[in-house]
Amino acid sequence: MISDEWWLRWHRHLDSGATYVYLLLTTAAGLQTLGEEYAGIVQVVGRRRLPGALRRLLMVTLHTFGPLLTERLVRRWEGPAPARPRLSTVLRLLYQLNITAFYLGSAYYHLDKRATGIRYLLVRPWMGDALSRRTFLLLGIVSLVHLCISGALQLRGIAAPEPSSPTVGVPASSDSGPGADQTSGLSDGTGSSPDAEEEAVPHRLRCPLCLCRRSVSTATPCGHLFCWSCVVDWLQTQPTCPVCREEVPPHRVVALRAYD
């Protein structure tokens, strides 16, 4: 039997392999995919020239393995769990910008097609209508407004100064007064400082974002646990797992009510 851990690690690679084989048998071989045949569209270069075999193979390879390779390179560049992702945010904004440009009238929906110069041509042009073009234009305007707002928020977060990490376990200075022992454990009368309480929280119960005991433990599809409020706030601007960078749509997180 295949374990869940193995499946979570390799399922994206298996999906990419299956997609690559399918595109090799269709697009790379000069045939239409099922979706292209249903919609009545073909891939062309320039005005009406069919793309060559090497160009089709390059486009198929970029389409299938480009996102995985880019994600791996970005993860290596940013580190395993950066406090504020930078390059990945910029690349995601560029991807959204390309889709917005397509809705507004550009010919390339995917970045791999833009890189290879391959676009779609409607075989039966009389099937196109003005209403469809106006609908795409409206969708492009809405997408552009959303891109400007979300991009401004994310870029502002990138430009903000890095938060200073608190110092944990720093001993009291030797020149503190006689009352230092009485005032060091400030609040609850137990004589323990907040830093000592944080150290006392077991690692398995600690949220990787706030480094405190988890409140309403929430699981991502990749299996990592966070506070509900911490991970929801994170996913508003960065829809990836803070630990492993697996893509996590906000609606896929699950609050474990009876876990704590």
> Residue 170 has what pLDDT?
40
pTM exceeds 0.85, yes or no: no
On the question of pLDDT at 169 being above 50, the answer is no
pLDDT in tens, 8-35: 678 778 889 999 999 999 999 999 999 9
Residues 35 and 100 in one domain: yes
Return the pLDDT at 167.
43
CA distance 64 to 80: 24
The model's confidence at residue 128, banded by pLDDT at 50, 70 and 90, is low
Say how many domains are in the chain: 2
Residue 109 has pLDDT above 70, yes or no: yes
Same domain, yes or no: 151 and 248? no
Which CATH number is 219's domain given? Answer: 3.30.40.10
Q: Can you say whether the dihedral through the CA atoms of 44, 47, 53, 55 is positive or negative?
A: negative
The label of the residue with tokens 């119960």 reads 205
Q: Tell me the two tokens of residue 184.
A: 């060091």
Q: What is the pLDDT of residue 31?
A: 92
Task: Tell me the C-alpha distance between 83 and 85, whole Å.
Answer: 7
User: Does 103 share its domain with 33?
Assistant: yes
Q: Which of 105, 101, 27 is nearest to 64 (CA)?
A: 27
Percentage of the chain modeled with pLDDT above 70: 76
Band (pLDDT 50/70/90 cuts) for residue 135 is confident
For the chain, what is the total number of helices (H) and then of strands (E)? 9, 5
Query: What is the C-alpha to C-alpha distance for residues 110 and 133, in angstroms, rounded to an integer?
Result: 19
Of the CA atoms within 13 Å of residue 56, those in its CB half-sphere come to 20
Alpha helices in the chain (DSSP H): 4-25, 34-39, 53-78, 87-103, 111-116, 130-159, 180-183, 194-200, 228-237
| 220 in the same domain as 152 | no
Which of these three, 137, 159, 181, is where a domain ends?
A: 159
Give the CA dihedral 17, 18, 19, 22, nearest 10 degrees. 120
Segments forming the whole domain that contains residue 249: 202-260
Tokens 């977060």, residue?
157
Is pLDDT at 257 greater than 50 in this prediction? yes
- 185 domain-assigned: no
Same domain, 120 and 240: no
Q: 32-89: per-residue pLDDT in tens?
A: 999 999 888 899 998 889 999 999 999 999 999 998 888 888 878 876 555 555 777 7
Per-residue pLDDT of 187-241, as tens digits, reads 444 444 445 444 577 888 888 888 888 888 899 998 899 988 888 888 887 788 8
Q: Looking at 127, 159, 191, which one is the last position of a domain?
A: 159
